Amino acid sequence: MKKLLLSATLLLAAAVSQAQDFKYQTPPKAIQDLLLAPPTPRLSLSSDGRVLALLPVQDFPTVAELAQPELRLAGLRFNPRTNGPSRVSYAVGIKLKKLPGGPEIDVKGLPAQAHISSPTWSPDNTQLAFALTTPGTGTDGRVELWVLDVATATARRLLAAPLNDAFGTSFEWVSDSKTLLARTVPAGRGPAPAADAAPTGPTVQESGGGKKSGARTYQDLLKNPADERLFDYYATSQLVKVNLVDGSAQPMGQPGVIQTASPSPNGQYVLLRTRHRPYSYLLPISSFPQRIDVLDLASGSLVQPVADLPLADNVPTNFDAVPAGPRGHSWRTDVPATLYYAEAQDGGDPKVKVDVRDKLYTLPAPFAGPAQELAALPLRFAGLSWANDKLALAEGYRWADRHQTTWQLNPGAPSAPLTVLFDGSEQDTYHNPGTPYERRNALGKYVLLTGGPTGQSIYLVGEGASPEGDRPFVDELDLATHKTTRWWRSEAPAYEIPVAILDASGKHRQLLTRRESLTQAPNYYLRDASKKAAPAAVTHYPNPYAAFGGSFQKQVLHYKRADGVDLTADLYLPQNYKKTDGPLPTLMEAYPVEFKDKSNAGQVSGSPYTFTRLSWASPVFWVTQGYAVLANASIPIVGEGSKEPNDTYIDQLVSSAKAAIDEGARLGVVDPARVGVMGHSYGAFMTANLLSHSNLFKAGIARSGAYNRTLTPFGFQGEERTFWQAPEVYNAMSPFNFADKIKTPILLIHGEADNNSGTFPIQTERYYAALKGQGATARYVVLPAEAHGYAARENLLHMLWEMDSWLNKYVKAPVPAPAN
């Protein structure tokens, strides 16, 4: 009898844990309707501010479309049928609208089912170039270069040869607005190389000599010589100069793995960045050897080789580590033809103590040198904005304490001392002065917008973080006096952000803004910042959820953690909910963030006045099912001074989650006995840790996470220490190590083709196996063809069904816990 009972038990266990041949399911209609609401068109503004291109967006692709052929090589993903990116959210049409009040004009000449990407205005704003992808069914797919004439609202194919769009945008305007540089598939390249019928030998890698070359965990790397041949075949392109009038194409130089080709502001030269062998099996293309050359744009001949940089395989794993040697070669945007670049003075290692961390150099035509030193920075170089020969702004950064500085430079006097313009913590959002505003000049290059009575003012655009929430603003900063004048600031009960400064020269301070409120969908407006008058609407997009009755109650909660850190969360409640209805089953969603200062960690982010536009990843869908939702619950992980945030990750994580639930319970809207938690990516990692180390939740949903930090041993998220430097942190933060502690049901979801660094699908596969082995209640769902972010309609609907079923079973009407 005992043997019979044992056999029956084993058979039942096998039936429960076996794989299931499952068909796609759909969630309740209210959730479906919200997910499939029409997307809002994108917008592209001409640099003179006179014309808008309105770009209707592709709806969710089908899983069949998502499952098109895809090659994953050197950190890139592309479709071999088209030689273009394999995962693009396309525009499906174009309309033009002249500002301020012109009608929307349909563009003629487009194919019936257009797949449009990379819209780019010509410097004179008379043309709009874009890529148009024809998916094809075999080898006949292609990416083409098209151009739209604004005056006639007519589009046409410009170039007969297909683009090589494996790197993304594969064309750029020259300053004359009559010429484009494009990277095309080489003529007559023949069929793709076939895979080896049988291995010709093992794949071998070797290290030694004391050389440290640790690398973070990357996806889609080259694995063998066959991969290298495929990569060369699909990544090799021919640079051509395209005539706008007749579409003729003049080849420039030889085919190569050309990553970028950028014309100089005066249109006489081309800065060419080409990757070359030896390749790496541990690093993506961004670390491959690269050659920097300058070509003559008229003839295509080589003017000057600038640099030949080796494989960057010995860069420290710190976040502000960089390769030794010159890096980041680019055009100075305010003069005819001058290169600039940075070079580390610490060997690229931020742990080396030096007074000068980076130096900046300029190299004018004809680029033969010697380069001229522009500035010596005490922090790692993070960016340059050019205005003229008397003004440029340089940014520097230090990861260890999240410090950032902006300096004012005088390019005409490179020996002049640096002037600190802004200085402080990158995480101190309340005191963020804003971002200096840039716009394209007549040559099509971005430069700082300057103005004011003396011409010495710049303009700052910021989110305006404050204790009352974000209030975006536009400021004018006089660089002579350092006096700031506020032009405009968003006012409650709306949330309005500046999109462009259209006029800063006269009395009318004209802005293009995007405005929304709790009940009004985002739309674009023209606003005179010098007047109190209401803005004039440019677009009139309706509430996409109006037809479904999809509105919610929303408020921002403010509360404290046990250690005194201020926290916030967005609380959503069903439309007709009243407090007398009593506490609700609740879904909490969060994403932890590391901080170096408690005061910065407690700063409010977001706005109470934003319109709730639901992405596929949102938790707010479940308001329609009678849940309260705590979205964007802040979970700061703080480590001040010499302490690192993750040293006390678990304690801070659990304390933050408990504070959110307690606040919702205090308000009488959250039932603390019926709370589920969900997260995506690092939020999934958070979810598994919360279930491992607390009993706050009835169920968890973890999507596309990493659960064993020893599989990402050279750092992860905000942790830059390696496993060997902090093994106790890696072990304590790995939910995999605590699979035997989870007594709460957990739903694990992962995209089959995850492309994110560190979140390989095997992370979830092995974690599920560990949970199953420990008898935990777990479900593992693999979404076909999905990357780290999900896209296909069938997969998204099924994901929402899985989540809804799990929440209903274990949170809304929780299954009684088994008796001990």
- Is 5's pLDDT higher than 50? no
Find where tokens 């710049």 sit. Answer: 458
- Spatial CA neighbour of 739 closest among 756, 763, 713: 763
3-class secondary structure, 814: coil
Contact 682, 591 (CB under 8 A): yes
Distances (CA, A) of 819 to 549, 746, 813: 43, 19, 18
Q: Which residue has the higher pLDDT, 550 or 582?
A: 582
The pLDDT, as a whole number, for residue 815 is 67
Spatial separation of the C-alpha atoms in residues 498 and 495, rounded to whole Å:
10
The pLDDT, as a whole number, for residue 18 is 58
Q: Do you find a cis peptide bond into 370, omega within 30 degrees of 0? A: yes
Spatial separation of the C-alpha atoms in residues 653 and 784, rounded to whole Å:
32
The pLDDT, as a whole number, for residue 552 is 82
pLDDT digits (tens, 9 = 90+) for 482-524: 999 999 999 999 999 999 999 987 677 999 999 999 999 999 9
- Is 427's pLDDT higher than 50? yes
CB-hemisphere CA count at 13 Å for 462?
26
| The two structure tokens encoding residue 21 | 């041949």
Rounded average pLDDT over 142-164: 97
Q: Catalytic positions, please?
A: 681, 754, 788
pLDDT digits (tens, 9 = 90+) for 226-248: 999 999 999 999 999 999 998 99
- Spatial CA neighbour of 391 closest among 349, 309, 450: 450
Total Cβ atoms within 10 A of residue 604: 20
Read off the pLDDT band of 636 (50, 70, 90): very high
- Helical (H) or strand (E) element with 729: helix 727-732
Spatial separation of the C-alpha atoms in residues 581 and 559, rounded to whole Å:
23
pLDDT digits (tens, 9 = 90+) for 15-61: 345 566 689 999 999 999 999 999 999 999 999 999 999 999 998 99
